[in-house]
Amino acid sequence: MFSRLGVSLAAVAVVTAAVTGCSSGGTSDSAGSGDVTLVVGDQVKTTQSLLESAGELKNLPYKIKWASFEAGPPLLEAAAAGKVDVGGTGDVPAVFAQSANSPLKIITVLSASTANDFLLVPQNSPIKSIDDLKGKKVAYTKGSSSNGLVLALLHKAGLKPSDITSTYLTPNEGLAAFNSGQIDAWAVWNPYATIGQQQSKARVLADGTGLTTQQGYYLASNAALGDSAKNKALKDFVGRVARAQKWAATHKDQWVPIFSKLTTLPEPVAAATFDTSANDVVPIDAARIAKQQQLIDLFAGAGVIPNQPVAAEYFDDRFNSVVTGSQS
């Protein structure tokens, strides 16, 4: 569900500034006790707002240093370089990290019931179907979940990646290009998709329902997993995320204002983000791994990645008991 409320010109300026502000690798801290500091990669402060609204940032036995990223690929690059201990992303950034044999493991699976990736076209665009994209300029963030959406949509329509002109843009760059008419279609996730609909009157051509894994992940660096003190902190962190996700399912009214305040996004945009970002934290099992393998196979088959990694080698289920315990 999306909020269709109008956005004033002043609010549009605020939205654009807010999203731009979240695109940097800036950091902030959450107070805690102990000598251990977990560096947590976050996208548009989604994890931070979730834990804060659920009260899960209280009584931390360690400190959290938040590192903000605009998208999953740079977050995982930072994690692979040892600058981030753990962070949440969509499924496709993990594919590229696995293809690069990055020193990371998936430690938590987030399962969504609704799609959170959308293909947008201008309201009056003549493009009515995926077939109409042939020869058109389509923008998305390379290595992001929207990259997976475009690939899956093309595959379903019997088209090849070479049938479109792919333009690799960050969400902020994509919004600017969409507004100026430099691209024919834009694949992106929330809150950006809702901003595009409200600010630019974009029309949703397709979403990822039935096409994508609808899984997200928290990945941790091998270095953090191999450090006994950080491993203990990661175990606690996973429990807090799992409890917060369960709490959020029935407390939208409390989560939305905090997310809105932290990002300065209008509450209608925050609410739409909640509606498409609600996830259940589930244990890692063979079915979850198989979904990721199918995604890897899709990218490898299209020649987008140079190899075909084995998904199971990049999952670590040591925190499954924490996830299961949080569900009771």
Question: What pLDDT is stored for residue 27 in this prediction?
Answer: 58
Mean pLDDT (the chain) is 87
Lowest-confidence region among 12-21, 76-85, 171-180, 236-245: 12-21
Q: Which domain holds residue 183?
A: 117-207
Closest by CA position to 274, among listed 114, 133, 42: 114
Same domain (yes/no): 232, 103: yes
- Res. 26: pLDDT tops 60: no
Our count of domains for the chain comes to 2
Average pLDDT of span 134-142 = 95
Contact predicate 263/22, CB 8 Å: yes
224 with 109, same domain? yes
- Out of 150, 175, 207, a domain closes at 207
* 231 lies in some domain: yes
Q: Give pLDDT tens digits for 150-173.
A: 999 999 999 999 999 999 999 889
Instruction: Read off the pLDDT of each residue in 246-263 and give the average, rounded to a whole number.
Output: 82
For residues 220 and 251, membership in a common domain is answered with yes
Q: What is the pLDDT of residues 35-44, one digit of tens each?
A: 999 999 998 7
Closest listed residue to residue 184, CA positions, set 284, 262, 169: 169
Final residue of a domain: which of 191, 207, 223? 207
Please state, in angstroms and rounded to a whole number, the distance separating the CA atoms of residues 223 and 3: 42
Distances, alpha carbon 243 to alpha carbons 40, 41, 101, 247, in Å: 17, 19, 31, 6
Residues 222 and 321 placed together within one structural domain of the fold: yes
CA 154 – CA 133 distance, rounded (Å): 9
Buried b (16+ CB within 10 A) or exposed e, 112-151: beebbbbbbbbeeeebeebebbeeeebbbbbbbbbbbbbb
- Dihedrals phi, psi of 304, to nearest 5 degrees: -75, -35
Instruction: For residues 127 and 27, state if they share a domain.
Output: no
User: Could you tell me if residue 191 is inside a domain?
Assistant: yes
d(CA 96, CA 74): 11
Backbone region of residue 254 per phi and psi (left: phi > 0; alpha: psi in -120 to 50; beta: other values): alpha
Helix pair 91-99, 72-80: axis angle to 10 deg: 40
Q: Is residue 222 located within the same domain as residue 320? A: yes
pTM (2 decimals)?
Answer: 0.79
Least confident of 10-24, 83-97, 143-157, 183-197: 10-24
306 and 251 both lie in a single domain: yes
The CATH number given to whatever domain includes residue 183 is 3.40.190.10
Do 97 and 244 fall into the same domain? yes
Q: Please tell me whether residues 186 and 92 are part of one structural domain.
A: no
Query: Strands across the sheet with 63-69, in order?
Result: 27-30, 63-69, 37-43, 86-90, 215-221, 104-112, 279-282
Same structural domain, 64 and 188: no
Q: How far apart are CA 259 and CA 60, in angstroms?
A: 20
In a domain, residue 315? The reply is yes
Give the lowest-confidence range in 30-39, 97-106, 242-251, 284-293.
Answer: 30-39
In a domain, 319, yes or no: yes
Q: What is the 3-state secondary structure (H, E, C) of 181-239?
A: CCCCEEEEECCHHHHHHHHHCCEEEEECCCCCCCEEEEEEEHHHHHCHHHHHHHHHHHH
207, 225, 253 - which closes a domain: 207
Q: Are residues 49 and 90 in the same domain?
A: yes
Q: Which of 99, 37, 96 is nearest to 63 (CA)?
A: 37
Residue 109, C-beta contacts closer than 8 angstroms, at least 6 positions apart: 215, 216, 217, 281, 282, 283, 284, 288
d(CA 14, CA 262): 13
Residue 154 lies in a domain: yes
> Is 4 part of a structural domain of the chain?
no
Is the pLDDT at 288 greater than 60? The verdict is yes
Dihedral sign computed on CA atoms, order 282, 248, 43, 186: positive
Q: How many angstroms separate the CA atoms of 75 and 93, rounded?
A: 9
Same domain, 203 and 224: no
| 88 found inside a domain | yes
Give the number of other Cβ atoms within 10 Å of residue 199's Cβ: 19
CA 275, CA 273: separation in Å to the nearest integer? 5
The answer as to whether 6 is a domain residue is: no
